[in-house]
Homo-oligomer: A and B are copies of this chain.
Amino acid sequence: MTNEIGIGMLGYAFMGKAHSRAFRAISHLDTPLQPRLVAVAGRNEDAVAAVAAQFGYERWTADWRDIVADPTIGLFDNGGPNSLHAEPTIAAAEAGKHVLCEKPLGRDADESYEIWQRVAATGVKHLCGFNYRFVPAVRLARELIEAGELGEIRHFRGRYLQDWGDNPTLATWRFQAKEAGSGALGDLGTHVVDLARFLVGEISTVAGLVHTFVPDRQVDDALAAAVTFENGAIGTVEATRFALGRRNAFQWEINGSKGSLAFDMERLNELQVFKDDGHCARGFKTVLVSEAEHPFWEHWWPPGHIIGWGETFTHEALHFLRAIAEDTDVAPYAATFEDGYRAAEVCDAIVRSSETGSRVTVSYR
């Protein structure tokens, strides 16, 4: 086929698997470019070889530079640890490849800014992997808000709750400051910040704290902040790896002058919608976001036949391939590297507020 694009993947673990599966799962989604899984790179040779076999990569390598140098690769997908986001992503862009980089873009705002600026200068397409923008219910929320159905937004409350952090002996790069940059903040909090920005608007101030429960752990376990938005809304942002019983509970609620929305990632096919329609029977609707007219649903099943978390990556990949094939903007429905940078500024502001004890005004370069 002439309309193929070669994919080079960095990373074979959680995100490497999720992204690889997405490129395979995309075949029936009317994609304008068929992904060809050219190569996957990673430090652990056995693991990367296994992933190559599972997903059908044509080859694997222990050195990401091989991928950057491969002219048959048109899209470089970075699903590696945070410490490996900057150099390979910039190198790939400078080699003329479109780049998709997992969140957080960098380990802090400085690094994120550097990645964004260097990549933007090359002119390639760039997408930061805030995959939750591609949950159908989240996109529907965005569309309802854009259409004015909620009126003026007053409140955002977002919390991303997981519970696997309470294990002092767990070995993962996610607990290493040098590799991860931060803990729950960059891993989970950044998702909350991104959806706050995606759905409500820019955050103007934050007052809060980050906290580490496990002695000697290098990164934060949890954070909480009271925030204000440029448009006058106020809210809370929370994230933790210590909410026992909450496995992937990214929950948010938005209240406006005409309606409210609520969501929980553990039931990602559902959106709770309240509209004061004047009927005597008022209440939050449990909307199963699976109707023919709902976002992304032209690709899926009859109503009520739900999709999984993995398809957020499928939709994201499709969006990026379309932007590449048709030369359209990645923004606003996907996050660009600028969005990755902006989320990092908010996260850094929460850290500074925690350190100084003062409310911090978020400012962008």
Residues of A228-260 at the interface with B, using a CB-CB cut-off of 8 Å, are 228, 232, 234-236, 238, 240, 242-249, 253, 255-260
Q: Any chain B CB within 8 A of the CB of A303? A: yes
Partner of A238, one of B54, B157, B164: B157
Are A234 and B245 closer than 8 Å at their CB atoms? no
Chain B proximity of A144: nearest CB distance (Å): 7
Partner of A283, one of B227, B259, B273, B353: B273
Partner of A211, one of B234, B286, B291: B234
Report the nearest B residue to A259, measured CB to CB: B244
Residues of A10-39 at the interface with B, using a CB-CB cut-off of 8 Å, are 14, 17-18, 20-21, 24-25, 27-28, 30
Report the nearest B residue to A208, measured CB to CB: B226
Partner of A287, one of B20, B255, B283: B283
Which segment of A67-75, A102-110, A307-315, A322-330 sits at the interface? A307-315
Q: Any chain B CB within 8 A of the CB of A276? A: yes
Q: Any chain B CB within 8 A of the CB of A333? A: no
Q: Any chain B CB within 8 A of the CB of A123? A: no
Are A222 and B288 closer than 8 Å at their CB atoms? no
Q: Any chain B CB within 8 A of the CB of A285? A: yes
Most buried by B among A247, A256, A281, A357: A281
Partner of A308, one of B144, B157, B311: B311
Residues of A185-238 at the interface with B, using a CB-CB cut-off of 8 Å, are 207-209, 211, 213, 222, 224-228, 232, 234-236, 238
Report the nearest B residue to A209, measured CB to CB: B226
B-side contacts of A246, CB under 8 Å: 255, 260, 304
Chain B proximity of A48: nearest CB distance (Å): 14
B-side contacts of A308, CB under 8 Å: 305-308, 310-311
For the complex, what is the distance from the CA of A111 to the CA of B246, rounded to whole Å?
A: 41
Q: Any chain B CB within 8 A of the CB of A268? A: yes
For the complex, what is the distance from the CA of A303 to the CA of B271, rounded to whole Å?
A: 21
For the complex, what is the distance from the CA of A283 to the CA of B272, rounded to whole Å?
A: 9
Residues of A100-151 at the interface with B, using a CB-CB cut-off of 8 Å, are 140, 144
Report the nearest B residue to A163, measured CB to CB: B255
Top 7 A-B pairs, shortest CB-CB distance: A247-B304, A248-B304, A245-B274, A308-B308, A307-B308, A283-B285, A283-B287
- 11 additional contacts (CB under 8 A) given A140-B280, A285-B286: A25-B25, A144-B281, A157-B238, A245-B276, A245-B283, A246-B255, A246-B304, A247-B302, A247-B305, A248-B302, A277-B277
